[in-house]
Structure 1
Amino acid sequence: MADQNFEDSHEKNVDVLTIDAKALQALLSAGEVTSLSLVRQYVVQIKKHDERLHAMIRITPNDLLEEAAKSLDEERAAGKTRGPLHGIPIIIKDNIATHPSLGLPTTCGSLALLSSKPKKNAGIIDQLLDAGLIILGKANLAEFANARGSDMPNGWSAVGGQTHSAYIRDGIDPNDSPEGHSNPSGSSSGSAVSVSAGYAPFAIGTETDGSLVAPSGRAALYTIKPSIGLVSQDGIIPISSNFDAAGPMTKSSYDLAALLDVLIKKPASGSFTNDLTCSWSDISVAFLDPDAWKGSEDDIKPVDDAEAQMKREIRQAYEVIKPKAKKFVENIDLVSPETFRIDREGSEWAIIQADMKPQLNAYFEGLEESEVRSLAEVIAFNEKHADLELPPHHPRQDNFINSENQQLSTEEYDRHLSYLRHMGREKGVDLALKTYGVDVILGPIDSGLTSLATASGYPLCAMPLSYLDYNGRPFGVAAITGKHQEHLLVKVMSAWEATFPARKPPPQLVKLP
């Protein structure tokens, strides 16, 4: 990570571990802090902790950060603000293209893209800048959004190293499974950890299947994977346009709603902040039994006390919501992701492998400069630099090779996609919502809900609940609803936040000077 030299700020110090964007905006409006002082404080926090956490790939260069912050402070002093997030720092996952003028690379965690130069910003980057946000830097991630190779620990990239949870003092257990309780999960690992560690009040991540929801759950954050196609994917390094979505990762439901407004380009009159009702009284809810959690030793190495605690506390949360909700239905039947197969072949993965090669090739070909121009060249680069790109702990690129070699006919492709959408929608979410007469379905984050969201293309959110006695890692609950019903999930998140105890920052970061 590039070295920075910031002077210590003499303005009001904020508690970067707990403060959210709404509270920051109040301080900015009252003149108690400036955007310049905020970026300095956040960079100090990054420099203090990231040598251990590896949540960042690069901080925006000092001169560009200060220039952006001063400019937005001047606009505020002149009586002009661009909206509720004016002058707030944000961190961006490093698979989202930024033009070289912003001083940041776009690597997707790969050394093959370290010197690449996009021709322009991703669409959502321009939207964030137009709204007055300050891009503080790029977050680490599971390399190529965890699509390169199978069965490897999440949160590692050749550029950024291994991301560690801010909640787990000893980091990843080398004997743990790829998604075990010591792992920060991914692929938006760095985005989640950076927010929980106080590097910025919020971040942007992306999800194909679980990459927003799972790491947010393990960082005690709120997030939402919006309906597919609702947020522009222009300039985001793709895995599959059928499944990919960018979304906010925040400490509060208000911050999520305000940031979602920017990503979706919502007018002020239709702001998601209008849905922050903080009440269950007009929400009909169905619950999945916590035993629907389908972890295995291949994914999440079982720890009896941990699993028992998660199931117990999720059931207790259900009991708290039960008398408050407009309608409550428990232990519902819901289609299992295990059924998303045709002739034993997983339809989701068949589509991903068919999409990945042409869509990555199109991205590479559109770069202003790049050492690689195709998936085949990335594979060759990794083989040539195997000591760095294919080390013993992350040795595989079998997913890339399979995508490069896959020959799926148009008829087979259409059959898989049609089947997947039908099972996720008509036989999945739509059927359950109609059968039980509810608005949303809640269940453990560590369940099949992320795959159901991928199959259907419908929105999915995550909310923090508690922390494992076993090792301190957070866990939470996810909720899914129908297409373009993000406002319902914002209601659920605000009601959740008003019902349960406030999220806690990582204890070891609080204790450190």
Structure 2
Amino acid sequence: MSTPPFDVLTTTAAELQDRLKAGTLTSVEIITTYLGQIEKHNHAGAKLNAMINVAPRELVLKAAEKLDRERSSGKIRSPLHGLPIIVKDCFQFAPELGLKTTVGAVCFAEEKAKKNAELIEQLVEKGVIILGTANLSEFCGHKAENMSPGWSAVGGQTRSAYESGPPPEVPEPKTGLSAPCGGSSSGSAVGVSAGFAPLSLGTETGGSLNYPASKAGLYAMRPAHGSVSSEGVFRISRSFDAIGSMAKTPYDLSLLAESILTPEARAKLPENGYQDAMTGSWEGLRIGILPSTWGGEGPDHKSKWATTPVICKKEIYDGVTEKIKANGGFVVYPIEIPEAVYSNNTLKYKGLSQRQVADYEFNEVIQEFCDGFEDPKIRTSGDIIEYNKLHAEIAMPPPHTNQKDLITSHNSPLSANEAAEAYREINRKSGKDGMDMYMKENNVDIIVACSDCTLVIWASNAAYPAGTVPLGNLENGYPYGLFLLARAGREDLIFRFMSAFEATFPKVKGPRLE
């Protein structure tokens, strides 16, 4: 067997692009190498189940050949010209890309999209090669009670690339953020960490991009809501869902994050985009760090911000503050954010939470999504529920035998006005009159928390940009990270933090895949 031209587990998108520019590597060789890694470990080898669909080999190689010819003639479409990406299986694809969109659901397995999602078309025009679709929590987690993160009826259970030993024949549900893959964009995160592609896209309602990225040792960021097109993309809700990026380094992440912005959002950036913010220095950045949710009084200690039990020593988290200060950064630690009307980890208005607003909105956005298929057999949440009942053996196999979330949405008692009013107030109380006011009053630019922190829900409620950085590895090898929040329009501060973080802290250890 010939030696691969690069290490898929460690090579970055920037390094690949440098070699393409130097003429020491071609896009054809890049695609061939990643396809080999997918074949080796997706359903064979480590059996990661990170990919639901892989684009036909002849199609992606043909696309790579075309992009290589363009490069030879001096045409470079973007900084990602000729590089591959994997995307969460909730983006619609035109037939010519050879990919289906299932959202992990059997009911969509045979549907055909009319055209590419607007964002997919945007990436193709920039010379990005869509290598395949990543497994996910079915319906982005909006299907069943206690459904394992990263499980879908179509794709099975995604496994972390850091897991060891053979997978069980019938996996036991591993719910909550303590699960190895973390959230619904699991396949997107595992795919990058396992060397299936250098970059990936995911979506997030309340942590489903950043949580799995932190558990895969990656950098991730989703910009403020509305700055990336969601046309042709499956969502749980209109108000809270956002699309984001994952990569091994802040620089790679910045390239992808800029590439997915709408033209209007990109026009607001400086000429050099996020690169202007990536100085590698803490100077001038004012950071507020929440109290640790890791460690404390006994094994069951949890703060109001925690979502999972202790996962690492508190000293590691406390040491972040000292290290940033030692390298010239300004840190307020610990900061205490007022709970406002924070109840049961969810900001509410008249008793209504983000979840209840999303339950109502799901009925509208699912119809929009289904309208993107040619003559769809499924059009409503009710159609999905009935299909799953009739095909329970394959749509709801043990141990995932219910569809409670879908039923709750279908039976939502809210009116359009009630849902809209609740969203406006939740957004205001968590954003403009909540976190925004707090950050201004305390003169901090960015808030940092443990990667398992409920602060991610505030970010979603406020429609703020959010990200994660990899901090270290547990004794069993699993990575963990930090969660970042900045005010609307200040994605540049997230990249500024990431750049300084990468220059200050050691890299996390990668997975050991043979």
Common fold by TM > 0.5: yes
Post-superposition shift, 1:150? 2.2
Q: 1:333 aligns with which of 336, 340, 354?
A: 336
Q: Which residue of 1 aligns with 2:202?
A: 205
Cα distance change on mapping 1:144 and 1:175 into 2, 3 Å: closer
Distance 1:172 1:354 in 2: 37
Distance 2:382 2:101 in 1: 19
Q: Which residue of 1 aligns with 2:440?
A: 434
Q: Secondary structure at the match of 1:269?
A: coil
Post-superposition shift, 1:282? 1.8
Distance 2:469 2:434 in 1: 22
Q: Which residue of 2 aligns with 1:361?
A: 367
Q: Which residue of 2 aligns with 1:479?
A: 484
Task: Tell me, yes or no, if structure 1 residue 496 matches structure 2 residue 488.
Answer: no
The answer to whether the 8 A contact 1:295-1:447 is kept is no
Distance 1:258 1:161 in 2: 31
Q: Which residue of 2 aligns with 1:96?
A: 91
Q: Which letter maps to 1:341?
A: K
Post-superposition shift, 1:316? 1.1
Q: Which residue of 1 aligns with 2:221?
A: 224
The answer to whether the 8 A contact 2:42-2:50 is kept is yes
Cα distance change on mapping 1:131 and 1:335 into 2, 3 Å: farther
Distance 1:163 1:152 in 2: 12
Q: Which letter maps to 1:492?
A: F
Cα distance change on mapping 1:9 and 1:80 into 2, 3 Å: farther
The answer to whether the 8 A contact 1:292-1:447 is kept is no
Q: Which residue of 2 aligns with 1:259?
A: 256
Q: Secondary structure at the match of 1:430?
A: helix
The answer to whether the 8 A contact 2:88-2:134 is kept is yes
Distance 2:255 2:145 in 1: 36
Post-superposition shift, 1:139? 0.6
Q: Which moved more, 1:274-283 or 1:47-56?
A: 274-283
The answer to whether the 8 A contact 2:115-2:372 is kept is no
Q: Secondary structure at the match of 1:125?
A: helix
Task: Tell me, yes or no, if structure 1 residue 20 matches structure 2 residue 12.
Answer: yes
In structure 2, stretches of 5+ residues that fail to align are 296-300
- The 5 Å alignment of 1:102-251 reads 102-170=97-165, 177-179=174-176, 181-251=178-248
Distance 2:96 2:253 in 1: 28
Q: Secondary structure at the match of 2:482?
A: strand
Cα distance change on mapping 1:325 and 1:396 into 2, 3 Å: farther
The answer to whether the 8 A contact 1:181-1:473 is kept is no
Distance 1:335 1:341 in 2: 14
Q: Which residue of 2 aligns with 1:456?
A: 462
Q: Secondary structure at the match of 1:394?
A: coil
Post-superposition shift, 1:210? 0.4
The answer to whether the 8 A contact 1:429-1:481 is kept is no
Distance 2:478 2:77 in 1: 37
TM (normalized to structure 2)?
A: 0.91
Q: Which residue of 2 aligns with 1:4?
A: none
The answer to whether the 8 A contact 1:205-1:247 is kept is yes
Aligned length: 493
Cα distance change on mapping 1:205 and 1:134 into 2, 3 Å: same
Q: Which residue of 2 aligns with 1:83?
A: 78
Task: Tell me, yes or no, if structure 1 residue 506 matches structure 2 residue 511.
Answer: yes
Distance 1:455 1:44 in 2: 41
Distance 2:338 2:103 in 1: 33
Greater share of residues in helix:
1
Distance 2:178 2:167 in 1: 9
Q: Which moved more, 1:260-269 or 1:160-169?
A: 260-269
Q: Secondary structure at the match of 2:154?
A: coil
The answer to whether the 8 A contact 1:329-1:436 is kept is no
Distance 1:324 1:151 in 2: 43
Distance 2:228 2:204 in 1: 12
The answer to whether the 8 A contact 1:171-1:182 is kept is no
Q: Which residue of 1 aligns with 2:298?
A: none
The share of aligned pairs that are identical, in percent, is: 38
Post-superposition shift, 1:421? 0.9
The answer to whether the 8 A contact 2:312-2:474 is kept is no
Post-superposition shift, 1:179? 2.4
CA deviation vs aligned residue, 1:366-420 (integer Å, no higher than 9, x gap):
3214331221111111111111111222122111111111121244223321221
Post-superposition shift, 1:202? 0.8
Distance 2:199 2:468 in 1: 15
Post-superposition shift, 1:118? 1.4
Post-superposition shift, 1:180? 5.3
- The 5 Å alignment of 1:380-395 reads 380-395=386-401
Task: Tell me, yes or no, if structure 1 residue 56 matches structure 2 residue 66.
Answer: no
Q: Secondary structure at the match of 1:291?
A: coil
Post-superposition shift, 1:172? 7.5
Q: Secondary structure at the match of 2:311?
A: helix
Task: Tell me, yes or no, if structure 1 residue 321 matches structure 2 residue 316.
Answer: no
Distance 1:181 1:80 in 2: 46
Q: Which letter maps to 2:40?
A: K
TM (normalized to structure 1)?
A: 0.92
Q: Secondary structure at the match of 2:235?
A: coil
Distance 2:393 2:116 in 1: 32
Cα distance change on mapping 1:292 and 1:456 into 2, 3 Å: farther
Q: Which moved more, 1:318-327 or 1:83-92?
A: 318-327
Post-superposition shift, 1:431? 2.1
Post-superposition shift, 1:426? 3.2
Post-superposition shift, 1:312? 2.5
Q: Which letter maps to 1:191?
A: S
Q: Which letter maps to 2:284?
A: D
